[in-house]
Amino acid sequence: MAENLPAVGAEDQTSGDQTAPTAGEPGKTFTQQELDRIIQERVGRAVKDEQRKLPPPEKMAAFEKWMAESQTAEERMAALTQERERLAGEKEALQRALFLVGRGASMEDVEYHAYKIGRMVTDRVTFEAATEQYIRDNARFFGGTAAGPGETHEDAGGIIKLGGGVSLAAPQVHAPAPTTLKDRVNGAIRKPKGG
């Protein structure tokens, strides 16, 4: 009884229009140039079909312009927030630099000192407190003494230092402000007492 049943898939093999080559019949062979030509033709047709589906370049440019102009409120807010944070960081850096200059740091070294002091700042230690500790540990970089809160004095460079890191430039009557540590030390030594 099993002999009378057709093999599974036998109908599928004979019902199609295409006939598969059998082991006895050789298949058509193509040269490399023929294969390259066929592939190029198929790729060309596929590219043309895809290009027909795309809108013209003018419409694409208009769409991209519209997308750029129609940012969501969240995107604009994110950009503004990022800009505000950048400006706040710059403001803080400038305030720290001004504070350090007021405490006697040279302009050339302000950025270095701000970096070193910034590393000492924690949740419990403010920049000002860290600066005081840094000055105590590194007084040689700050021209000896610096004005504490409530004190005022004029250094050899003609800067009037007020307490709390505020500095005012005194009018230059003599030579220009010393630029090196050596010049500042010599100016401090030669400065008359009480003056």
User: Domain segments of the chain: what residues?
Assistant: 92-190
Q: Is the pTM of this model over 0.95?
A: no
The CA radius of gyration of the chain, in Å to the nearest whole number, is: 41
Token digits of residue 175? 């030579």
Pick from 109, 104, 112, 113: which is nearest to 184 by CA? 104
Helix-strand-coil split of the chain, %, nearest 5? 55, 5, 40
Whole-angstrom distance, CA of residue 23 vs CA of residue 27: 9
Work out the mean pLDDT of the chain and round it to a whole number.
74
Q: Quick check: 167 and 159 in contact, CB under 8 A?
A: yes
Confidence of residue 1 (pLDDT cuts 50, 70, 90): very low
Full strand arrangement of the beta sheet holding 166-169: 152-154, 159-162, 166-169
pLDDT (tens digit per residue) in 21-44:
566 567 788 899 999 999 999 999
pLDDT for residue 183 is more than 80: no
Element (H, E) at 77: helix 73-102
Token digits of residue 195? 């003056």
